Amino acid sequence: HEVGWGAKRIAQEFGCARNTVRRYLREGGVVAYRQPARRTAFDGLDDWLRERFFRHDGNADVIRQELASEHGIVIGLRSVELRVKRWRRELKAQKRATVRFETAPGHQMQIDFGDTRVWIGGERLRVHLFVGTLGYSRRVHIRPSLRERQADWFDGMEGAFLRFSGVPAEVLLDNAKALVEHHDAVTREVRFNARLHAFARYWGFTPRACAPYRARTKGKDERGVAYVKKNAIAGRRFESWAAFEAHLDRWTREIA
């Protein structure tokens, strides 16, 4: 340029665009690439996205669905995955940083429901599985049902008390609507259902609710539910509901 070359000739010499040459000349040297700031559908939603990302254990598709239902934003799954990618390392670190929690004999039982599809009498039914796991010994009690109502939670706990010939000091449960009316994730204030309070007083245990969106708080039972699905049920067919219950009872005694 100092010897009189024009932008076109310089561009041909270096194999770049004339606008690039003009920009360098205007700035007096090499100019680093600056990505222009563009508006996106996610603008102003970073705090909301982060909270939902950790709530749903990193499931971007659930976040995509809630963007549509709560904010009217219809967007592709890949776009959501790229936006939340920055938090995946933090989520992985949180999962690895869990401290093993142990309790004394008789102190705690963890309870949960899981559901799966089971072939019974030639029909593939959706079955709900109540699983109660003793914190110290890891002994389990299983009660299958076709629903997940409050009565099914109570029946599952009563069956566990009878199976274990005793009642633990406390029962750690999930924040199911049938049992917990409100649980503040920040203050940890919990309001249990009145019928659960009455049920706990009758049997003499203290109900405890695990932290919201932290299922691993009751990891012994989470693992127990998966164990039942993948070991007791996987790949099996049953002639009747009675045969299914008998199989679970035998599996609990002889395998689990």
- At 230, the pLDDT band (50, 70, 90 cuts) reads confident
Tens of pLDDT, residue by residue over 9-40, are 999 999 999 999 998 999 888 777 777 778 88
Q: Please give the full DSSP string across 142-193, using - where no structure is assigned.
A: EEEES---HHHHHHHHHHHHHHHTS--SEEEE---TTTEEEE-TTT--EEE-
**Residue spans per domain, the chain:** 1-34, 46-96, 108-254
pLDDT band at 183 (very low <50, low <70, confident <90, very high): confident
CATH class name, domain 108-254: alpha beta
Flag whether pLDDT at 226 surpasses 80: yes
pLDDT of residue 232: 87
> What pLDDT shows up at residue 222?
64
Average pLDDT over residues 98-115: 85
Range in 61-75, 225-239, 241-255 with the lowest mean pLDDT: 225-239
Give the global pTM: 0.58
| Contact partners, residue 94, CB within 8 Å, separation at least 6 | 54
Mean pLDDT of the chain: 88
- Identify the band that residue 217 occupies on the pLDDT scale cut at 50, 70 and 90: low
By mean pLDDT, which of 4-8, 96-100, 241-245 is the weakest? 96-100
251 has pLDDT over 70: yes
pLDDT tens-digit map of 37-63: 788 889 989 999 999 998 888 999 989
| Predicted confidence (pLDDT) at residue 223 exceeds the cutoff of 80 | no
The average pLDDT across 245-254 equals 92
Question: What are the b/e assignments for 44-75, b being 16+ CB within 10 Å?
Answer: eeeeebeebbbbbebebeebbebbeeeeeeee
Residues 127-180 have pLDDT tens digits of 999 999 999 999 999 999 999 999 999 999 999 999 999 999 999 998 888 898
User: Is the confidence at residue 95, as pLDDT, over 90?
Assistant: no
